[in-house]
Every structure is written in C-alpha cells, then in structure tokens.
Amino acid sequence: MKSGYASFLMLFCLHRFNGERSLSAIYHLFSGKKSSQTLQDSKWFQLERFFGTWKEATLNDIEALAEQLLENGLISPVQNRSYVLTEEGRRQFNEQMRQAFFPVHLNGWRYHASEKWFWYRLSLLVQTLSNVLHRTRFEPIHRHEETFIWVKQYLLSQRKMARELAQTLYEEIYDILSSVSEEEATVFTLRLTSFERIGWTNEQIASLLQKDPVYVHFQFQNVLHYMMATAEAKQPSVLYELMHDLSLPIPLTFSTRKTYEWLLRGKSIEEIAKLRRLKRSTIEDHVVEIAANIPQFSIWPFVSEKKAEKIMETVRKLRTRKLKVIRDAIADDVSYFEIRLVLAKEGKMW
C-alpha cells in the first residue's frame, strides 16, 4: 500500500489532536512552521517529535490522506476540517501501534533545523573519504557551497590520516547502526554515497524493502536523530564534530523572541505592545508561546495561582483543551489568555 505509513501517522496525529485542530495544524506540524500556534500545539498535544520532520508533505497530501481515511471509515468529521477516530479507526490504530515501527528516537523539536546540515556534512564526508581511499575522482553529492567548504576545512584541519579518520568514523557509524533495527541500518547505509555507488533515493530503498517511501523516510529520520542525540551525549567523536557548531535554537518565532527580550528587561505586556506598536493580543500570543517553550519562564506575573489551580482542575475534569468549554465551565472571571497560559505551561496532555 502506497500511503500506508503516512496513514498511520495521520491517525496518530488525529488521535492526539482529538478533533480539536484542523488538518492544516497537521500540515504545519510536519512542515515545521514556526508560528506560535504550531509550536504550542506540538507541545500541548505531545507531538513535538514530529515537528518539522516531513517537510515535503503538502497540504494537498494531508487532505488526500484524510479523504482516504474518511472513505475507509476510520475517521469522522467533527467540525470544519477536524476529525476524530471512529470505533474502527481506533481499533486499527491500536493494532498498528502494537505492530508498526514507531520512530522513538525522532526529535523534531530539537533537530528540525539542524538535521539537514548534519546529514549533508556527514554524507559528503563519507563520500569524500570513500573516494580518497579508493583513489577515485568524484562529484560532490550535494551542491551546497557551505557544506562543501565546511567539509574541506574539516579535512584540512585534521591531524589524522584519511585512513585513520575513516576507521574512526566507520566505527562510530557501525556502533550506532548496530543498535537500531536491521531495516533501519539498511536504509541508512543505502542513503550514503560511496566511491562506487550514488546514494539511493527513499523511493528506491522502498522498492528494495517492499515498503512505502514515507516509511523509509521516517526510518531514516529516526536513525539520523538517534545519531545526533548519541553524538551529543558522547563527546568527543567525529559525529559530534559534525554538529557542534550547528545551532540548536529554542524554537521561538522571531517576533516572540523580541517580546521575550523586553519581558526580561521588566516591561509589562501593555508597555511592550506600545513599544512595538503591536496589538495587546499579539503580545499575549507571544507570552503564551514563551511559556510553552521556556521551562524557567514563570507565568505567575500574568495569572494568579488560585486561578491556575481552578483552570487545571477543570481541564482534568472535562478532559478537553477547548478554550471556550473551559471558560464556560469556570463561572469566575478568567480570560482566554489566562487559560492558554496555564495550558501552555502545563504542557502535558491531562
């Protein structure tokens, strides 16, 4: 089945969103859109791992997938472009969760911006070493000037011989691939380019393994993120050197970062709105985004502990994240801003 794995991922997201977000939220999640809404969503619904991990997906793809799930009776619409799993959908989903591959190492939240460059460097380094050792001429597999120059300088700065460096790198990759599944190790190895073989596309690997390309894509991402996490934990290593200067930024939108800077300087929401000539509600959005992303950020200047307690109580009782439902249930005067802030800070689902 062509779209098998993508359907599974769709079910996963729809299950987590529980009818409270539309399809475009899923699209934004996969493509890694840096808006306050998407960033918060991925936290609230615990989908951080998928943030920015499938950038090729288009809104059309997502809609077509939903259409298919709908036709097969696995999901049903609740409101404008949101869906929940049907009885049958739940059954199939649970079954797949038990059997299907799940990208446990995937950490889009942390690596979405750096993974591509890490991979570019790694694969170009491997290609270069492979060709140097076999004394063959080659064309770099990436037409990316910065990567090209980085790898060149990296090689020039080495005190090791090419053979020695290759040995070390080989061992590091070997160790990592040994601790993932055979299939994942195969996917990753075939994506690499050597002196005699240009790396395979996801599609080609999929047809060798008789899987679908999306499945292969996520297997690859899973290994890549595992590799990056391992490298971060085990220093020094060649793999870590490949990533140490890549920034792993806190995912805040540009505008929010500005607001954050003002907050740190002690300005109030009102003052910042004036200073930046933005609407108060915009600044509130920023504050919510900050609360969701910066663990040490305190929300107490903006909401009283008593109110927060009440909000959480209601959330737990009603098992919902719908702002309106929550607000209606709390008779007292709480604002949407306060509710969102508490939800953002609490992060976890319930």
Partner 1 sequence: MVTLEQLLREKFGYDSFRKGQREIIEDILRGYDVLAMLPTGGGKSLCYQLPAYVLKGSVLIISPLVSLMEDQVQQLRQRGEKRVIAFNSFLETEVKRKAIERLHEFRFIYVSPEMLQSERLLHALMNIRISLFVVDEAHCISQWGYDFRPDFLKLGEIRKHLGSPTCLALTATAPPEVTDDIVHILQLQPLRRHIHSVDRPNIAIKVEKTEFIHEKINKLFDYVKMLQGPGLVYFSSRQWAETTARQLQREGIERVAYYHGGMDSEQRMLVQQQFLRGQLDIVCCTSAFGMGVNKENIRFVIHFHMPGQMEAYLQEIGRAGRDGKRSIAILLYTNGDEDMVQSLMETELPTDAQVKRLCESLLLYGAAPDSLEQQMSACSLTDVQKRILMYFLETEGIASSPRPLTEQEVAALYEKLIEKIESRRRWKRKKLLEMVKWIFHHSCRRELIVRAFQQSLEKKPDLCCDRCGFPLDGYLRVETEKKEFHFHGWQAELKRIFF
User: Which residues are CB-contacts of 251 (< 8 A; sequence separation ≥ 6)?
Assistant: 34, 39, 51, 109, 112, 113, 293
Cβ distance to partner 1 smaller for residue 145 or 333 = 145
Extract the tokens encoding 302: 């903006």
Binding marks (x or -) toward partner 1, 38..77, rule CB under 8 A? -----------------xx---------------------
Hey, what are 76's tokens?
Answer: 């049903």
83: β partners: 77
Q: By CB under 8 A, is residue 22 in contact with partner 1?
A: no
Say whether residue 192 binds partner 1 (CB under 8 A): yes
CB of 64 to partner 1, least distance (A): 12
Burial class (CB in 10 A: 0-12, 13-18, 19+), 87: exposed
Question: Is 255 among the residues that bind partner 1 (CB under 8 A)?
Answer: no
Q: Based on the shown chain and the rule CB under 8 A, indicate whether residue 137 belongs to the binding site for partner 1.
A: yes
The number of beta carbons lying within 10 Å of the beta carbon of residue 339 is: 24
CB of 167 to partner 1, least distance (A): 8
Contact 334, 307 (CB under 8 A): yes
List the one residue from 188, 215, 218, 226 that touches partner 1 (CB under 8 A).
Answer: 188
Is residue 242 involved in binding partner 1 (CB under 8 A)?
no
Contact residue for partner 1 among 33, 96, 140, 330 (CB under 8 A) = 140
- The yes or no reply on residue 146 touching partner 1 (CB under 8 A) is yes
Please pick, from the candidates 207, 282, 320, 335, the single residue that binds partner 1 as defined by CB under 8 A: 207
Q: Which stretch binds partner 1 (CB under 8 A): 27-35, 38-46, 195-203, 278-286?
A: 195-203
Q: How far is the CB of 146 from partner 1 (least distance, A)?
A: 5
CA distance 18 to 41: 12
Count CA atoms closer than 13 A to 329's CA, side-chain side: 19
Q: How far is the CB of 242 from partner 1 (least distance, A)?
A: 16
Which residue reads 């997938």 in tokens? 65
- As a whole number of angstroms, the distance between CA 147 and CA 319 comes to 48
Is residue 83 close enough to count as binding partner 1 by CB under 8 A?
no
Q: What is the DSSP letter of 58?
A: -
The alpha-helical segments, DSSP class H, found in 18-161 are 23-31, 36-44, 59-71, 87-99, 108-111, 115-133, 145-157
Which residues are near partner 1 by CB under 8 A? 55-56, 126, 129-130, 133, 137, 139-143, 145-146, 149, 166-167, 169-170, 173-174, 177, 182, 185-186, 188-190, 192-204, 207-208
